[in-house]
Amino acid sequence: MATQKKIGSINMSQVIRTIWLYEGISRIEISRTLGLDKSTITKIVNTLLGMGIVRNVSEGTAGPQGGRKPVKLAINRDFGYILGIEIQTDRYMAVVIDLQGKICFSYSNLINFSRRPLKKVFLEILQTITNRIEKTKLLGIVLGLPGLINSDKGIIHRSKPLNIIEDVYFLDSIIDLIEVPLLIENDANSCCWGELVFNRANISKNFIFVLGELREHQSSSIGKHVLAIGIGVVIDSKVHYGENFSAGEFQSVFREVTNTTQFSLPDNQFSRIEADQEIRKAVFQELSKNIALLVNVFNLSQVVFGGAIEEYKNEIIPILKDEIEKNWSYEYNTGCRISFSHHNAQSVAYGSACMFLEYLFSTPSVDTGQNEYLPRGIELFQLILSQKVNNNNL
């Protein structure tokens, strides 16, 4: 059942992660943080220096009581880059980041699907992007999509926006055509990865990302919009997929079964959501009541909003705050923060790339479910390095 991790790789991965989390940390501090002997850290860091993953960046200052100056360590930014791509019905967004999660490059354009399969469209986009970046240092690609997605097996189960109504074994079908590691992920979950990376040093362990987009209504003429909500869930600092990778699928508890939207608002009134503040208020209140239940039952410490809904930031905050309090029965406040994504239109693409970062810098846990295509931590680095050698030999 469980596959044995080479025992040393755990500590090695932990050291990498620690340097990633605390840029400029010294060997001694790592040893204290992880509870390992300082000589062990010296050994591991030397290996990492040899692999080109880590760099000695500078000398720190000695303490007030004297002593040798600490040597600050950091991840080698030049090691490589990661590409995150978001594909929606009518447009895509590509973002390239370095190992620290800084955005190096981004590009966006419209898509015309015109009945072509996703695979073809994706390969076309990939062509466009890779023409614009240094290909040799590309470490991995992650594709963020709306829908029910099994990121461990690379399957798209369903996607209403992309008109996918049966299982598509996406990675299986494309893996041979691409020379770097590739993953797919649900769009709202991607945003969660983005938050995990962006706030990695001091993060909420339990939060949700509410991705609210204004989409064309399934069965309506152009111009009619509905608010489409996708939720990404992070529990215990891990993206939560649930039993069938359908976690995050949202429908309001107030919704009437006859409605085609996720809310109780009659379908025909939804088109006025952008124009009518009263309608927005009703919808946001309904959304907030639902979220409040999730926040309190799971004792979340944060709710992050992203997508087109961000525009209504000032309308949402007071409503949600109020509903969370109303749903709470004790006198003290649990202190759930409400915030908005820092990356605007790039939230999904950026977050997708961050998923790969987290794979690189995670410690392979004993019990965690496995991605079938990629290992984690130092093993992923080793995989990448071995592929680099192969590519150079060709």
Partner DNA sequence: TAATGTTGGTTTAAAAAACAAACCTATTGG
Partner DNA sequence: CCAATAGGTTTGTTTTTTAAACCAACATTA
Contacts to DNA by CB under 7 A = 4, 6-12, 26-29, 35-40, 42-46, 59, 62-71
> Which of residues 249 and 274 has its CB atom nearest to a copy of itself in the complex?
249
What, of a copy of itself, DNA, none, does residue 67 touch, CB below 5 to 8 Å by kind? Answer: DNA
User: Minimum distance from CB of 379 to DNA (Å)?
Assistant: 12
Instruction: State the virtual CA torsion across 150, 156, 158, 160 in degrees, nearest 10.
Output: 120
Here the tokens at position 96 are 């390239």
What gap in Å lies between CA 220 and CA 226, rounded to an integer?
Answer: 10
Smallest separation (angstroms) from a copy of itself to the CB of 296: 6
Residue whose structure tokens are 């996918």: 164
In degrees, rounded to 5, the angle at the alpha carbon of residue 145 between the alpha carbons of residues 139 and 149 is 95
Nearest-angstrom CA–CA distance, 119 and 301: 38
DSSP SS3 for 227: strand
Q: Shortest gap between Cβ of 364 and DNA (angstroms)? A: 13
Q: How far is the CB of 209 from DNA (least distance, A)?
A: 35
Site stretch for a copy of itself (CB under 8 A), options 73-81, 114-122, 272-280, 328-336: 328-336
Quote helix, strand, coil % in the chain, to nearest 5.
40, 25, 35
In the complex, least distance from residue 56 CB atom to DNA, rounded to whole angstroms: 8
- Pairing of β 138-145 and β 148-150: unpaired
Nearer to a copy of itself, 14 or 347 (CB): 14
Say which residue the tokens 């995150």 belong to: 84
Q: Which of 300, 319, 320, 348 binds a copy of itself (CB under 8 A)?
A: 300
Chain centroid offset of residue 106 CA: 16
**CA-CA distance, 40 to 24, in Å (whole number)?**
19
Binding partner at 176 among DNA, a copy of itself, none, C-beta below 5 to 8 Å by kind: none
Of residues 14-53, those binding a copy of itself (CB under 8 A): 14, 33-36
Contact residues for a copy of itself (CB under 8 A)? 1-4, 7, 10, 14, 33-36, 148, 158, 204-206, 231, 233, 235-238, 240-251, 253-255, 257, 262, 289-290, 292-294, 296-301, 326-330, 334-335, 363, 365-367
